[in-house]
């Protein structure tokens, strides 16, 4: 069964460093998303991406964050200068336009630890 894959599973970085989280969405999907989940808290929407541009973004997704689809398969989330409070699980999701874009399938996540 097709799945969304995320790498790495765990990323440890120093405060102030740049990190890039990588996702390979399901191959025929055209809508892509990033979410984060701070330990013990709810899953929070960060950004949605379609047709090579951001569709929606939340208040969390500030200038420190950016997304890119550098090729036909990868979808990345970059955090320019990490802060301690960026430590969280980051989930990528993708959806199928033929389903109206409603059904999002999630990857297993990348755990980001900022020291």
Partner 1 sequence: TQLLEQSPQFLSIQEGENLTVYCNSSSVFSSLQWYRQEPGEGPVLLVTVVTGGEVKKLKRLTFQFGDARKDSSLHITAAQPGDTGLYLCAGGIDDMRFGAGTRLTVKP
Q: Are 96 and 26 in contact (CB under 8 A)?
A: yes
When asked if residue 45 is in the footprint of partner 1 (CB under 8 A), the reply is yes
Tell me: does residue 60 bind partner 1 (CB under 8 A): no
Should residue 5 be labelled a site residue for partner 1 when binding is judged by CB under 8 A? no
**Minimal CA–CA distance to 89: which of 105, 61, 111, 113?**
111
Q: Which residue, among 107, 97, 89, 112, has the nearest Cα to 25 in the 3D structure?
A: 107
Binding of partner 1 by 111 (CB under 8 A): yes
Binding site for partner 1 (CB under 8 A): 4, 31, 33, 35, 41-45, 48, 50, 55-58, 89, 91, 93, 100-109, 111
């Amino acid at each position: 069964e097709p799945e969304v894959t995320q790498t790495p599973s765990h990323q440890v970085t120093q405060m102030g460093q740049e990190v890039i989280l990588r996702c390979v969405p399901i191959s025929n999907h055209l809508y892509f998303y990033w979410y984060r989940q701070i330990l013990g808290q709810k899953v929070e929407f960060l950004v949605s991406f379609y047709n090579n541009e951001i569709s929606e973004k939340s208040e969390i997704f500030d200038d420190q964050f950016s997304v890119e689809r550098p090729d036909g398969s990868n979808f990345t989330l970059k955090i320019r200068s990490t802060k301690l409070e960026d430590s969280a699980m980051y989930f990528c999701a993708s959806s199928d336009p033929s389903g109206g874009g409603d059904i999002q399938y999630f990857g297993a996540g990348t755990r980001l630890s900022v020291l």
